[in-house]
Chain A
Amino acid sequence: SAVISQKPSRDICQRGTSLTIQCQVDSQVTMMFWYRQQPGQSLTLIATANQGSEATYESGFVIDKFPISRPNLTFSTLTVSNMSPEDSSIYLCSVGQQGPAFFGQGTRLTVV
């Protein structure tokens, strides 16, 4: 199993600023995933981050808006850049050796 610490748990940010969300795992994992849940919507995959390679983004998500780092097998960050109120969502990381198996607690972001 893996225990994930996701920070911050919530934040309120000004539009035009950026927020970096961290996902720390207590063991080495191959794959890390970042999801977004907009108000009233299902969770949607933003990108998959594997150590040693560039993140793979899903349709509708771009690196300039959501840059991801994966410096090692236990850590990843997702940055929400140049935020607007439409970015107000819950952001969630997930990890696993072959697919998403364990989940962070989520980050509730409100952009004002």
Chain B
Amino acid sequence: KNEVEQSPQNLTAQEGEFITINCSYSVGISALHWLQQHPGGGIVSLFMLSSGKKKHGRLIATINIQEKHSSLHITASHPRDSAVYICAVIYNTDKLIFGTGTRLQVFP
């Protein structure tokens, strides 16, 4: 069993839909990252959070430390949101474990 599990693995949506991607982990962590990987391979850091909720534009990330769970929400999805979204957790201060990613395709 992977220490970081993401769901769903693949997700398709129509433009404008509200999207949720989930991340569950089994280790004690100090923080969690959400990353966006573009089709060409480039990686962008979206959020790093250790508690509560963060919002940036149409993106919202939440984390529940007690339940070992985080969610990434995209409101009013757009085709340019199509990418792989990766959850990564930091444990032992400097160790990072990556999830396998969620491939999102948003159609016009």
Contact = CB atoms under 8 A, between A and B. Distances in A.
Given A99-B30, A103-B35, A90 B41 contact: yes
Contacts, number: 59
Interface stretch (B59-67, B73-81, B95-103): B95-103
Interface residues of B, number: 23
Contact of B43 (A41, A44, A106): A106
Given A42-B99, A42-B101, A43-B86, A48 B94 contact: yes
Nearest to A4: B45
Contact of B98 (A9, A42, A99, A102): A42
B86 A105 contact: no
Given A10-B40, A42-B99, A102 B45 contact: yes
Given A43-B86, A43-B88, A100 B43 contact: no
A99 to B, nearest CB: 4
Interface residues of A, number: 25
Interface of B: 30-31, 33, 35, 37, 40-45, 48, 86, 88, 90, 93-96, 98-101
B40 A108 contact: yes
Contacts of A101: 31, 48
B94 A105 contact: no
Interface of A: 9-10, 31, 33, 35, 41-45, 48, 90, 92, 94, 96, 98-106, 108
Contacts of A45: 95-96
A35 B97 CA distance: 11
A40 B48 CA distance: 24
The 10 closest A-B CB pairs, nearest first, are: A99-B94, A108-B41, A43-B98, A42-B98, A105-B42, A106-B43, A100-B96, A90-B41, A103-B45, A99-B90
Contacts of A42: 86, 98-101
